[in-house]
Chain A
Amino acid sequence: MSDPISLSDVTVERDGAAVLRDISFALGASERLAIVGPNGAGKTTLLRTIAGLERAKAGRVTLFGKDCGSEADFRMARPRIGFLFQDSDDQLFCPTVAEDVAFGPLNTGCTSEEAFARASEVLGTLGIDHLGDRIIHKLSGGEKRLVCLAGLLAMRPDVLLLDEPTNGVDTENGARLRDRLRAFGGAMILVSHDDGFVADMANRALVLEGGGLRAAEIHEHPHMHSHAHVHTLPEGA
């Protein structure tokens, strides 16, 4: 089987200047690729190019073995790609959690029953089935993040593109997020500044700098470790 995603010599321009230059890489079917780099290096643009929201000026974007050039090509591929946006509010536009999670499956032709069954199943695997009837704009940042992810997983994608998945997520919801992502069987590209998360999740890394990609390695080494902690004081202290 061909790689789910492969880019060859892709150049993306914005306002006449190249944001990405001659990018080439392929993502294997169960690879978890981390893309790291400074702010403004074009990490988000790279994800947007893969999803067809940004068109390459030159080069080839191949999704699931098919060259994609037009909106119609990308439209075919998108249901198999779950793209988690940086800002949850951009993604969650439905009144209630269950409706939002069911939105994707309904678009891909599921009946209402199937879509809502999938929604409650996915919410269950994320450990947030109690949120189903909640109004979205009253959720916390971490809960919104999980609901976004649920909306993608409900479409049963083969690939996840995650743009800063741990942004604004507290420890408890972060653990749910990691558990669920670890259980995800497909391939994954993650863009994150959270080094701990990257080391935990990814099995390959690339550095995006100055518009170009370079191979990198994820390594782990012990540090002399000292940091400040905040603890509550015992009663009466």
Chain B
Amino acid sequence: MIALPGDMRVRLVTALILVVAISQLQTIPVAATVLAAAVTVAVMSGIGGKAWLRMLHVETFMILLFVTLPFTVPGRAVLTIGPFDASAEGFTRAAVIACKVSASVLTIVVFLGSVEAMRLGAALHSLRVPEPIVRLFVLTVRYLSVIGGEARRLQEAMRARAFRPGSNRHTWRSYGNLVGMLLVRALDRAQRVEEAMLCRGFSGRFPWQKPPRLSRSEMGFMALATTAAVLITAADRL
């Protein structure tokens, strides 16, 4: 098991540096090595079964690449199906992309997968992300479950009155009403949330807390990640 730094800023920045470096890789050996390393780190940091299941979703999407790219990238034909030729370059391209995407997603899962999205707000703010964006992000995450709960209850109430979705006018109109009702309620709620904030002395500026200084080991961790990013880029291009 390895322990990652707890500071969200460190995790965000490290993940960003690594993902940017991984996304620029061009050769199969390096991309494959990076993927192997990512899998090793993921196993060692003990990401849960749910996270691996999420990877499966990503990999299904990758199949699409292997189906389409060989036929669209021009090059030496290795396989012919009817009038279509599959190129070796296409297969290579698909493999590189699959490795890069898998490695990137694993990196994000390792660094941010176990983090409550709500806890990222303060980190994003201290990384100088514009305040309106951070506020939008934090409030969206906070109220997604509330609005999701409303949608679920409305749908259950529809089912309880014997609603069965089909492809007919009645279904479309009912779903239209459902979405409309959710929007109206969300708007009302937004208004009430703002009023509650006003009642507690909110005057338009969000009172963010000052983040703690980074420790030496956290700085070291980011330096290590940057070095790794430079190394894989160099190995890829040289």
- A: which residues have CB within 8 A of B? 48, 51, 53, 75, 78-79, 81-83, 85, 87, 89-91, 93-96, 103-104, 106-108, 112, 115, 135-137, 151-152, 155
Contact indicator B203/A107 (Cβ below 8 Å): yes
Complexed CA–CA distance, A89 and B196 (Å)? 10
Residue of chain B at shortest CB distance from A100 = B200
Interface membership of B217, Cβ < 8 A: no
Given contacts A95-B118, A95-B121, contact A51 B210 (CB under 8 A): no
Interface membership of B207, Cβ < 8 A: yes
What distance in Å separates the Cβ of B194 from its nearest Cβ neighbour in chain A? 9
Contact indicator B189/A78 (Cβ below 8 Å): no
Complexed CA–CA distance, A153 and B83 (Å)? 75
What distance in Å separates the Cβ of B212 from its nearest Cβ neighbour in chain A? 11
Given contacts A95-B118, A106-B207, contact A51 B199 (CB under 8 A): yes
Contact indicator A89/B146 (Cβ below 8 Å): yes
Interface membership of B60, Cβ < 8 A: no
Residue of chain A at shortest CB distance from B189 = A90
What 6 A-B pairs come out closest when comparing CB atoms? A106-B207, A95-B118, A107-B201, A104-B200, A90-B192, A91-B196
- B residues in contact with A106, CB < 8 Å: 207, 209
Contact indicator A78/B199 (Cβ below 8 Å): yes
Complexed CA–CA distance, A22 and B217 (Å)? 67
Q: A79-B201, A94-B142 are in contact. List 7 more A-B contacts (CB 8 A).
A: A85-B196, A104-B201, A106-B207, A112-B210, A136-B142, A151-B200, A155-B200
Interface membership of B197, Cβ < 8 A: yes
- B residues in contact with A104, CB < 8 Å: 200-201
What distance in Å separates the Cβ of A114 from its nearest Cβ neighbour in chain B? 12
Residue of chain A at shortest CB distance from B121 = A95
Residue of chain B at shortest CB distance from A53 = B195
Contact indicator A90/B210 (Cβ below 8 Å): no
- Chain B contact-residue range equals 20 to 34
Complexed CA–CA distance, A208 and B49 (Å)? 57
Contact indicator B193/A90 (Cβ below 8 Å): yes
Complexed CA–CA distance, A93 and B102 (Å)? 35
Complexed CA–CA distance, A75 and B195 (Å)? 11
Complexed CA–CA distance, A178 and B150 (Å)? 30
Residue from B119, B196, B203 whose CB has the most chain A CB atoms within 10 Å = B196
Q: Which residue of A75, A79, A137 is within 8 Å of B146 (Cβ)?
A: A137
- A residues in contact with B139, CB < 8 Å: 93
Complexed CA–CA distance, A48 and B142 (Å)? 25
- B residues in contact with A85, CB < 8 Å: 192, 195-196
Contact indicator B193/A93 (Cβ below 8 Å): yes
Residue of chain A at shortest CB distance from B210 = A112
Q: Which residue of B138, B193, B201 is within 8 Å of A95 (Cβ)?
A: B138
What distance in Å separates the Cβ of A125 from its nearest Cβ neighbour in chain B? 18
Contact indicator B118/A53 (Cβ below 8 Å): no
Interface membership of B145, Cβ < 8 A: yes
Chosen A-B contacts, 12 in total, with CB atoms closer than 8 Å, are: A78-B200, A81-B199, A89-B146, A90-B196, A91-B193, A91-B196, A93-B139, A103-B197, A103-B200, A107-B201, A107-B207, A137-B145
Complexed CA–CA distance, A107 and B205 (Å)? 8
